[in-house]
Amino acid sequence: MITFPAFIPSPSESVWQLGPFPVRAYALCILVGIFQAVWLGNRRFIARGGLDGQVTDIAMWAVPFGVIGGRLYHVVSDWEIYFSEGGKGFLGALRIWEGGLGIWGAIALGGVGAWIGAKRQGVAFAPFADSIAPGIAFAQAIGRFGNWFNQELFGRPTTLPWGLEIETANRPTNFTQFETFHPTFLYEAVACTLIGLLLLRSDKRYVMGHGRVFALYVAMYCAARGLIETLRIDDTHLILGIRLNVFTALLIGAGALFYLVRSSEKNPGREVLSDGKLVLQNLTSETKQEPISEEAVLHSVSPEVIEEVEPAQLPESIPPVTEQSAPTVTEQSAPTVTEQSAPTVTEQSAPTVTEQSTPQPTQRGRRRKT
């Protein structure tokens, strides 16, 4: 009979020696997450009109900025660990492989690096952010398993079957008598995985552009993180007895929701890209949100861009110009064109007019010819 443990065991080792080089599980999880985000983001950006490799080039800027930003946020928000009496010191603040990357700083400064990379590549930044958002969520899910290997960032004590076993040396001072704790790393990994799947589904079903996919990712992650944060017991700053990261999640999540709503009202639809560069702001009209005509596309694009883009590169989803797609072109829209508006046109002023050029001759005209 197979028996299952009544708790989730923690790994006994988080570092392996590959000859003289240490291989750290935390670093491996971060790297795997980054590679996955770049791979998925590259595929999605190509589907939006980008070029293969543009996401990788931008990631060369975004990743270092993100790592530095994540570490800065962690050190500043938990400075006592490093710079108080008996702390780890300045060198300890540089040892990233020991754990400690704040997601808020990683996203903020990583976004700055991505903006710089996109600017240097001439790539539209908002479509890039929308393309990379699901991959970031999956990367966070993978990276959280690094906390599992380091036996850190767990929650309150619990006797639930999925409680996480933590060694005595890694338990907080006031909780040494407990053996199992809430596996908050697993909660967040599951939440980020679900967020990534929802982003893929939402972006496929709805017309989302202008950074709204990324804003939806931020909003959903903040909601999940705010709830999970209430379970954690690691030392942190408190405001009115509430953990600092809860307030951070509330503020950033509210900002993301505000942008999501305002962007949907101001810029409905999705951008059109060619080689990663912006060709058209929206795929839908600004008023009725109906598919725009090809004539509207040509009027919205500058002549210089039209020369660079071949007709085959225009989106296939734009319907051809017909009487239905251009309802304003009717007989009523040109009331001045009548027989009275052209009195100078007579038989004498148009001697070349023959039966062939007049497909509908009147009966009176035929009597004159005979």
Map 166-206 to HEC letters: CCHHHCCHHHCCCCEECCHHHHHHHHHHHHHHHHHHHHHHC
End of a domain among 266, 291, 321?
Answer: 266
What six digits make up the tokens of 256? 């993301």
Question: Same domain, yes or no, for 94 and 182?
Answer: yes
User: Is 343 a domain residue?
Assistant: no
206-210 contacts: CB < 8 A, separation 24 or more? 207/268, 207/269, 207/270, 207/283, 207/284, 208/130, 208/270, 209/126, 209/127, 209/130, 209/267, 209/269, 209/270, 209/271, 209/282, 209/283, 210/126, 210/130, 210/263, 210/267, 210/270, 210/271
Question: In a structure prediction context, what are the per-residue pLDDT tens digits for the chain, which is 370 residues long?
Answer: 555 566 899 998 888 988 888 899 999 999 999 999 999 999 999 999 999 999 999 999 999 999 999 999 888 888 888 888 877 888 888 888 777 788 899 999 999 999 999 999 999 999 999 999 999 999 999 999 999 999 988 999 999 999 999 999 899 888 999 999 999 999 999 999 999 999 999 998 988 999 999 999 999 999 999 999 999 998 888 888 899 899 999 999 999 999 999 999 988 888 888 888 888 776 654 433 444 444 444 444 444 444 544 444 445 555 554 444 444 444 444 444 444 444 444 444 444 444 444 444 444 444 444 3
User: Is 22 a domain residue?
Assistant: yes
Burial of 198 (0-12, 13-18, 19+ CB in 10 A): middle
User: Is 106 a domain residue?
Assistant: yes
Question: Same domain, yes or no, for 148 and 22?
Answer: yes
Question: Same domain, yes or no, for 207 and 287?
Answer: no
Question: Same domain, yes or no, for 240 and 288?
Answer: no
Q: Where in the sequence is the domain holding 283, given as residue range(s)?
A: 272-313
Q: Tell whether pTM > 0.75.
A: no
Question: Same domain, yes or no, for 190 and 58?
Answer: yes
Number of domains in the chain: 2
Question: Same domain, yes or no, for 85 and 130?
Answer: yes
User: Is 348 a domain residue?
Assistant: no
Question: Same domain, yes or no, for 277 and 229?
Answer: no
User: Is 76 a domain residue?
Assistant: yes
Do 26 and 150 form a contact (C-beta atoms < 8 A)? yes
User: Is 75 a domain residue?
Assistant: yes
Question: Same domain, yes or no, for 124 and 223?
Answer: yes
